[in-house]
Amino acid sequence: MIIDFHTHAFPDKIAEKALKKIEAMGGIKPKFDGTIKGLLESMDSAGITTSVVLSIATKVSQFESILQWAGSINSERIIAFPSVHPDDEKVVERIFEIKNAGFKGLKMHPYFQDFIIDEEKMFPIYEAIEKAQLILVMHSGYDFAYERIDKAGPKRILKVIEKFPGLKFVATHLGGWEQWKDVEQFLVGKNLLIETSFSYDYLEKRKIEDIILTHNPDQILFGSDTPWADQKAAVEVLKKTEIPIEIKNKIFYQNAIRILGL
């Protein structure tokens, strides 16, 4: 069993356009066509049982359509996380709407949604997510499609998790993409979940092992960030690391089962 905690897909009608747009921004070729059907095929070839599909509301107005689509794709193999936009004046209400609709969590992205994760305007949002007991998957570290301006680095993440100790915070990209030195300094061993996506091609195997083995083994989740990475390759890289099998099992599925309440 393998649960991929970080995937993306889009409604059939807009998948092609959405992928082209993101590809143009970041220069990375997608590994499948961006549809749910394409994702399921990718999962089959990688031996992945379940994928968490993360949406990002890049505009306030997208909340409703994302919520509806997320509800429509939920299935035995797909767990959808909708999104709120921080500039939405109804953002707190929206968070409880997500909770009441039965979703397990939501995704936010400081570069696509234009915020800094430890700025004051975010605090009521974290408070609401904490209160709703939703999982917050936060894009962490730099983003390959944007200038290297620190909006979600480990030091900022530490401030957030210290201020909201009950928040189920998932830091993506092994704690902070291309800010891994700071991950080791500020985040390993702290009370947060770290997801592994998009580190495999950018970090040597030894470093991945170091970060994983110094963090709490109950707080690491497997993620691929497909379509921007290949699910099968992501599985293989983690399998090949010299991490004890008991910890690999936690990363591949046991921690996700517990966190998602499956």
Binding footprint of Zn ion, residue count (CB under 5 A): 1
Shortest CB 6 distance to Zn ion, Å = 6
Shortest CB 93 distance to Zn ion, Å = 26
Amino acid at 23: E
Site string for Zn ion, 177-216 (x = CB under 5 A): ----------------------------------------
The window from 21-29, 67-75, 203-211, 223-231 that contacts Zn ion (CB under 5 A) reads 223-231
Shortest CB 43 distance to Zn ion, Å = 16
Closer to Zn ion by Cβ: residue 182 or 225:
225
Please state the length of the chain. 262
Closer to Zn ion by Cβ: residue 94 or 107:
107
The window from 116-124, 127-135, 176-184, 217-225 that contacts Zn ion (CB under 5 A) reads 217-225
Closer to Zn ion by Cβ: residue 103 or 228:
228
Shortest CB 225 distance to Zn ion, Å = 4
Q: Are 95 and 84 in contact (CB under 8 A)?
A: yes
Shortest CB 140 distance to Zn ion, Å = 10
Do the bridges between strand 193-195 and strand 220-221 make them parallel or antiparallel, or are there none, so unpaired?
parallel
Shortest CB 173 distance to Zn ion, Å = 8
Q: How far apart are CA 98 and CA 12, in angstroms?
A: 23
- Does 88 bind Zn ion (CB under 5 A)? Our answer is no
Shortest CB 8 distance to Zn ion, Å = 6
Options 192, 225, 226, 232; binder of Zn ion; rule CB under 5 A: 225
Q: How far apart are CA 235 and CA 237, in angstroms?
A: 6
Helix (H) or strand (E) holding 232: helix 231-240
Q: Are 145 and 25 in contact (CB under 8 A)?
A: yes
The window from 126-134, 201-209, 224-232, 234-242 that contacts Zn ion (CB under 5 A) reads 224-232
Q: Give the number of other Cβ atoms within 10 Å of residue 99's Cβ.
A: 18
Question: Could you please report the per-residue DSSP string of 17-49?
Answer: HHHHHHHHHH----SS-SSHHHHHHHHHHHT--
Distances (CA, A) of 210 to 65, 207, 214: 41, 5, 6
The window from 64-72, 184-192, 220-228, 234-242 that contacts Zn ion (CB under 5 A) reads 220-228
Q: How far apart are CA 60 and CA 91, in angstroms?
A: 9
Closer to Zn ion by Cβ: residue 140 or 241:
140
Q: How far apart are CA 2 and CA 159, in angstroms?
A: 31
The window from 61-69, 95-103, 222-230, 253-261 that contacts Zn ion (CB under 5 A) reads 222-230
Q: How far apart are CA 194 and CA 223, in angstroms?
A: 10
Question: Interface with Zn ion by CB under 5 A: which residues?
Answer: 225
